[in-house]
Amino acid sequence: MSPLIPKQESLDVDTAVYLSLDQMPARLNRKLSIAISDHAYLPRVDDLTSDWVAHVATPAFKLVRQQRRSPVASFCSIGTGAGLDVLAAIETMAVTRVGLTDLHHDVVDMAVKNIGNNVRSDHALVVQAGYGDLLTPLQPFRSRYDIIYENLPNVPLSDADQIGLARTSSTCLAPREESVPGLIVRQMLDLHYLALVQAQGYLSDGGSVLSILGARVPLEILLTLGKLAGYKSSFLTYTWKVQADPYEIAALHAQKQQQGFGPFHFYLADVLREAFRSVNIGTSSERALELERLLLLERLDAVEAYAAVKKGLTIGHTVAVLESKKE
């Protein structure tokens, strides 16, 4: 069988619109020209409410910069995809050294090119990149980072060979050999846990790991995730997003739920839109548990969510940005 030859797509994005900037970008080009490997997750630039970087990561980065009241010198992305998360960090947190990894060589190569092509020449930047598992590709640099960011896939595969198929690794993860607590396995948070464990050796003093977590499981379990990995964790933001690829994602979660994982929680998008209408992102973490309680009666488990999608309804889920610091 011949090896998979990665395809390439491209898109152009208005930087100020994509990052919700009040003024023209200071460190990035006004237009982002992004090339995307066939292995990389596709950004949702036509519907920013379903795009992870625009809708979830960027507001979190802005809040970090606001709370620290100074630029963030170094930033690392685990599983960067097209590199838009790195570009968002450079613009919003004034980052001058970035580390980035992804599972596939072509994804990392493309992300590095995207960063080089879209950062203004007057912004000094050091890029450290490698492909492979989680943070291990960055070992040769012997670097530590002020912010380590991860938005990793949740759904475990039974066949490791399937992970090489186009875009599979943006949704699913190959079987792991490491020991992971049973609670974490049942909620399909394995890769988030392993990333947190690895990050202990790459985090600067006073640094934080930002885990972007689709909160399809109870918030208390997400806090326990950080604790089990050896951190003091709290929520930085709590928001929601429209479920991208709803047929595929809802079906995968329904299948896993029927196998004994979860249960996993979704909601009708209109319910979430109304619930979060007056929620300020800067103080959303303070209301996270309250909002979860208010939404309790509106929950759809994965099977119900998949049925709703098949009826043509738009579903979403809540999202927590978990900030973890060394104990």
* pLDDT 10s digits, 49-86: 889 999 999 999 999 999 999 999 999 999 999 999 99
Q: Is the pTM of this model over 0.95?
A: no
CA distance 299 to 217: 11
Residue 38, domain member (yes or no): yes
Per-residue model confidence (pLDDT) at position 167 = 54
Residue 146, domain member (yes or no): yes
Residue 198, domain member (yes or no): yes
* pLDDT 10s digits, 214-261: 999 999 999 999 999 999 999 999 999 999 899 999 999 999 999 999
Residue 80, domain member (yes or no): yes
Residue 263, domain member (yes or no): no
Residue 290, domain member (yes or no): no
Give me the chain's average pLDDT, please: 93
**How many domains is the chain partitioned into structurally?**
1
pLDDT class of 176 with cuts at 50, 70, 90: confident
Task: Name all contacts of 45-53 with Cβ < 8 Å and 24+ positions apart.
Answer: 45/11, 45/13, 45/18, 47/242, 48/18, 49/241, 49/242, 50/241, 50/242, 50/243, 50/244, 51/241, 51/244, 52/85, 52/151, 52/212, 52/241, 53/18, 53/84, 53/85, 53/88
Q: Which domain holds residue 114?
A: 8-240+319-326
Residue 94, domain member (yes or no): yes
Residue 250, domain member (yes or no): no
Residue 111 sits in a domain whose CATH number is 3.40.50.150
